[in-house]
Amino acid sequence: MDEILRSQQGTTRFGTKKQISILFFISIFCLIAFLLAIANGSYQISFTELFAGSGQNIQQIVITEIRLPRVLLSCLVGASLGMSGAVLQGLFRNPLADPGLIGVSAGAALGASIAIVITPAFIAESSLGVFVLPISGVLGASFVIALLFALTKGFGYQGITYLLLVGIAVNAIVGVAIGVLTYISTDSELRTLTFWTMGSFGGINWSLLIPASIVITLSIVLLIPISRQLDLVQLGEIEAYRLGVDVKKLKVRIILCCASCVGASVALSGMIGFVGLIVPHLARLIGGVSHRYLLPASALLGACIMVSADLLARVIIQPAELPIGLITSAIGSPFFLWLIFKMKKNDY
């Protein structure tokens, strides 16, 4: 008892001492993955060259213009998917919530692909052009979340089944729409169907990365402080109100932030499935369920896993690349099934 309370005294903003050290270790892994991902690929660069900056000109270009933006993007996308998975699971009080499964990612993909087809050339080529993609992604994601919100009467009492069913419908509609768009569009800007359904971090450049990274970082920073409120929501919405949480405001904040970071992520990297589902679950297994730990842990672990998965996608069949979504789904879908069986056993 005293031991438990003593561990309590060490409690900080991000959890107990044990949870802090877990966060620290995940950060280290994240850093290692980051460096490995920059050094490895079709074009090998040794670590000494990486740190000394003594490489030849072509190596520098590979690093600064290709690898670095790519690895940064995978970091950001992993963090935003992990984070929004954790936050949505907390809000819906259900471990099956995931931006991909409930159709939010699909909405973002549709928004982005429509924008690519219909944006007039003079806007696309102007300095504002780089904002078109993330903004349309955010709008697409927001549209789906608004639809979910309306259909479930403010995410009320219909529960997760309803959300997942809507997600299936939205995913199907978007699949058709993007398929048609890629088929009829002669615009070379519109990437392949595989890009949207399986995702890829290839083809990114700094001018596209910077606006999206601002959106993603901002949303993540705005989501971190809601951890205590999310904890209280676990007691039930009414209990959270009774303990002083303005749940309506909280929902609006979560919706806006999740739509923003998922929208911006999907616009640049396509739909990468199951990361938002697995990452928070792993984080809970390692260090506990309290959100002050879970939110930063999910962001870091998401970044770590995404960078590693992208590295794997690049090196596994060199010099070609596997679609990143193939890897994440290969790991994620059996995990999804396992979660469902586990939930059934617990008789939710």
Site for other proteins, rule CB under 8 A: 1, 4-5, 8-9, 93-95, 228, 231-232, 234-236, 238-239, 241-246, 284, 288-290, 348
Q: What sign results for the dihedral spanned by CA atoms 224, 271, 185, 70?
A: positive
Q: Are 301 and 26 in contact (CB under 8 A)?
A: yes
Indicate the residue among 238 and 320 with the shorter CB distance to other proteins.
Answer: 238
Indicate the residue among 206 and 348 with the shorter CB distance to other proteins.
Answer: 348
CA distance 270 to 69: 16
Q: Please report how close the Cβ of residue 245 comes to other proteins at its closest, in angstroms.
A: 7
Q: Please report how close the Cβ of residue 316 comes to other proteins at its closest, in angstroms.
A: 35
Helices 104-118 and 247-269 cross at an angle (nearest 10°) of 50
Indicate the residue among 129 and 288 with the shorter CB distance to other proteins.
Answer: 288
Indicate the residue among 65 and 246 with the shorter CB distance to other proteins.
Answer: 246
Residue 15 sits at φ, ψ, to 5 deg, of 110, -170
Indicate the residue among 66 and 160 with the shorter CB distance to other proteins.
Answer: 160
Q: Please report how close the Cβ of residue 241 comes to other proteins at its closest, in angstroms.
A: 6
Indicate the residue among 91 and 208 with the shorter CB distance to other proteins.
Answer: 91
Q: Please report how close the Cβ of residue 8 comes to other proteins at its closest, in angstroms.
A: 6
Q: Please report how close the Cβ of residue 19 comes to other proteins at its closest, in angstroms.
A: 12
Q: Please report how close the Cβ of residue 18 comes to other proteins at its closest, in angstroms.
A: 13
CA distance 135 to 23: 32
Indicate the residue among 95 and 199 with the shorter CB distance to other proteins.
Answer: 95
Which parts of 32-113 are beta strand (E)? none
Q: Are 262 and 141 in contact (CB under 8 A)?
A: yes
**DSSP H or E segment with residue 214:** helix 206-223
Q: Are 177 and 110 in contact (CB under 8 A)?
A: yes
Q: Are 266 and 109 in contact (CB under 8 A)?
A: yes
Indicate the residue among 189 and 239 with the shorter CB distance to other proteins.
Answer: 239
Three-state secondary structure readout of 329-340: HHHHHHHHHHHH
Residue 12 sits at φ, ψ, to 5 deg, of -125, -170
Q: Which of 216, 214, 241 is nearest to 229 (CA)?
A: 241
Q: Please report how close the Cβ of residue 290 comes to other proteins at its closest, in angstroms.
A: 6
Q: Please report how close the Cβ of residue 242 comes to other proteins at its closest, in angstroms.
A: 5
Angle at alpha carbon of residue 14, lines to 11 and 19, rounded to 5°: 75
Phi-psi sector, 205: left (phi>0), alpha (psi -120 to 50), beta: beta
